[in-house]
């Protein structure tokens, strides 16, 4: 897989191009946390800030957005740290500046209002007002692989943690089946589906495992009697269709083994930006055209609970991608947010009190409405690829 990566020799150039680093305007805070690597005290700076015993001089600073440097002079008689804060989040800081010493901090700043610390925690903070600039606008609108590193890493963490939960939940299901406890096994089955549905956008692309883990009898020649009918829905058929745990132990064993394989594979798979961008729209489309109209859990009927888990899984992806999108196409970012809220609302409106009704109680009209909002969500999500796709 090493041939799928940009050549290592490109890394050397990265240092020279550090000034081109990008910030999403008003986006997630991490774009703004380009902390200074080198603390050369003699480097020229855009602004000198002197920190005395009680205050900063100047205390209210205005700079244009972009790559800005601050020379911090410790004019007090104790060691200080100097921080730029966005709310409670540290955007950049220099720590342990000794009395009489100075250090330079360089940071990519998106337009907005920040606070600065001034020595003692009990001292009043100063303000940093960052004005819009061409430099900041260009930085926000540039699409680079670097902007995807955080989202890609966070999604991998999600896949690793949720797939581990799926394995654990399947093990609990297997135990309940082995104990012959039907009620416990039915509850465990429903619980076991949730983490799987959350990671399904990528998990379902492992075709061989998907065919063993999640096949539906409707698509098999021999229906429920087909030897290929394995995995979650085979267990669902036994537990809810036949109201029995008989003969299910080997099916549960196999499910645990397949999910363990899946977990290892999701940990090893290398996801790139194009794939990440494509996942949520594809999942929304699949729900709109297959799951919502026809239902999927024909024996347990708990489809709505699982649809919520699927929307959570889509929401995880869009939550990671929207900050990248916000700097490039804020209109589309807003459209996606609105479409997602609409789908969430349509689903939530089906709740009866705190509980989801069985899916056979959901009328065709309501199914069509939900499918419509999911299709709209897919349409919005599919507009991302040309805007922030790196290809």
Shortest reach from residue 123's CB to other proteins, in Å: 8
Q: Give the nearer residue to other proteins in terms of CB position, either 117 or 378.
A: 117
What does the alpha-carbon distance between residue 255 and residue 368 come to, in Å, rounded to a whole number? 33
Shortest reach from residue 380's CB to other proteins, in Å: 21
Q: Give the nearer residue to other proteins in terms of CB position, either 182 or 275.
A: 275
Shortest reach from residue 325's CB to other proteins, in Å: 14
β-pairing verdict for 112-116 and 126-131: antiparallel
Q: Give the nearer residue to other proteins in terms of CB position, either 215 or 273.
A: 273
Q: Give the nearer residue to other proteins in terms of CB position, either 90 or 137.
A: 90
Q: Give the nearer residue to other proteins in terms of CB position, either 83 or 306.
A: 83
The pair phi, psi for residue 120, each rounded to 5°, is: -50, 145
Shortest reach from residue 79's CB to other proteins, in Å: 7
What pairs with residue 115 in β-bridges? 85, 127
Shortest reach from residue 365's CB to other proteins, in Å: 36
Shortest reach from residue 233's CB to other proteins, in Å: 21
Q: Give the nearer residue to other proteins in terms of CB position, either 304 or 325.
A: 325
SS3 367: helix
What does the alpha-carbon distance between residue 235 and residue 176 come to, in Å, rounded to a whole number? 12
Shortest reach from residue 361's CB to other proteins, in Å: 35
Exposed e or buried b for every residue in 228-262, given b needs 16+ CB within 10 A? ebbbbbbbbbbbbeeeebeebeebbebbbebbbbb
Shortest reach from residue 239's CB to other proteins, in Å: 30
**C-beta separation of 336 from 381 below 8 A:** yes
Count CA atoms closer than 13 A to 265's CA, side-chain side. 16
What does the alpha-carbon distance between residue 93 and residue 42 come to, in Å, rounded to a whole number? 18
Q: Give the nearer residue to other proteins in terms of CB position, either 271 or 358.
A: 271
For 218, other C-beta atoms within 10 Å of its C-beta total 11
Binding site for other proteins (CB under 8 A): 1, 3-6, 8, 10-11, 13-18, 20, 28-30, 33-35, 37-38, 78-79, 83, 85, 88-90, 95-96, 117, 120-122, 144-146, 149-154, 156-157, 160-161, 205-207, 269-275, 278, 320, 390-391
Q: Give the nearer residue to other proteins in terms of CB position, either 153 or 244.
A: 153
Return all residues near 296 (Cβ < 8 A) that are at least 6 apart.
Answer: 216, 290, 303, 306
The pair phi, psi for residue 220, each rounded to 5°, is: -105, 140
Residues of the chain by 3-state class (helix, strand, coil), percent to 5:
55, 15, 30
């Amino acid at each position: 897989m090493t041939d799928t990566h940009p050549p290592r020799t490109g890394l050397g150039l990265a240092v020279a191009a550090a000034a081109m680093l990008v910030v999403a305007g008003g986006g997630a805070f991490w774009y703004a946390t380009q902390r200074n690597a080198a603390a050369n005290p003699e480097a020229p700076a855009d602004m000198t800030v002197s920190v005395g015993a009680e205050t900063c001089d100047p205390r209210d600073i205005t700079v244009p957005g972009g790559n800005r440097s601050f020379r911090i002079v410790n004019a007090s008689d104790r060691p200080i740290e100097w921080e730029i804060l966005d709310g409670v989040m540290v955007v950049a800081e220099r720590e342990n500046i000794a009395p009489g010493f100075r250090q330079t901090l360089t940071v990519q700043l998106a337009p907005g209002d920040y606070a600065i610390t001034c020595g003692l925690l009990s001292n009043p903070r100063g303000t940093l007002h960052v004005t819009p600039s061409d430099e900041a606008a260009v930085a926000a609108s540039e699409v680079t692989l670097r902007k995807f590193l955080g989202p890609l890493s966070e999604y991998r963490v999600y896949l690793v943690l949720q797939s581990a939960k799926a394995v654990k939940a399947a093990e609990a299901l297997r135990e309940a089946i082995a104990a012959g406890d039907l009620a416990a096994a039915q509850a465990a089955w429903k619980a076991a589906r949730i983490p799987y549905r959350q990671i399904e956008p990528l998990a379902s692309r492992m075709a061989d495992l998907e065919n063993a883990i999640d096949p539906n009898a409707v698509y098999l020649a021999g229906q429920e009697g087909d030897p290929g009918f394995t995995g979650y829905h085979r267990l669902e058929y036994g537990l809810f269709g036949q109201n029995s745990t008989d003969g299910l132990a080997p099916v549960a064993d196999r499910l645990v083994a397949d999910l363990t394989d899946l977990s290892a594979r999701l940990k090893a798979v290398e996801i790139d930006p194009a794939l990440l961008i494509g996942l949520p729209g594809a999942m929304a489309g699949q729900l709109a055209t297959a799951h919502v109209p026809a239902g999927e859990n024909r024996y347990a009927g708990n489809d709505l609970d699982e649809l919520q888990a699927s929307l959570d899984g889509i929401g995880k992806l869009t939550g990671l991608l929207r900050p990248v999108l916000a700097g490039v196409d804020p209109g589309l970012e807003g459209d996606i947010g609105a479409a997602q809220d609409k789908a969430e609302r349509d689903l939530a409106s089906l709740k009866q009190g705190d509980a989801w009704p069985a899916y056979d109680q959901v009328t065709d009209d309501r199914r069509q409405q939900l499918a419509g909002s999911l299709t709209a969500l897919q349409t919005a999500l599919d507009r991302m690829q040309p805007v922030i796709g790196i290809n």
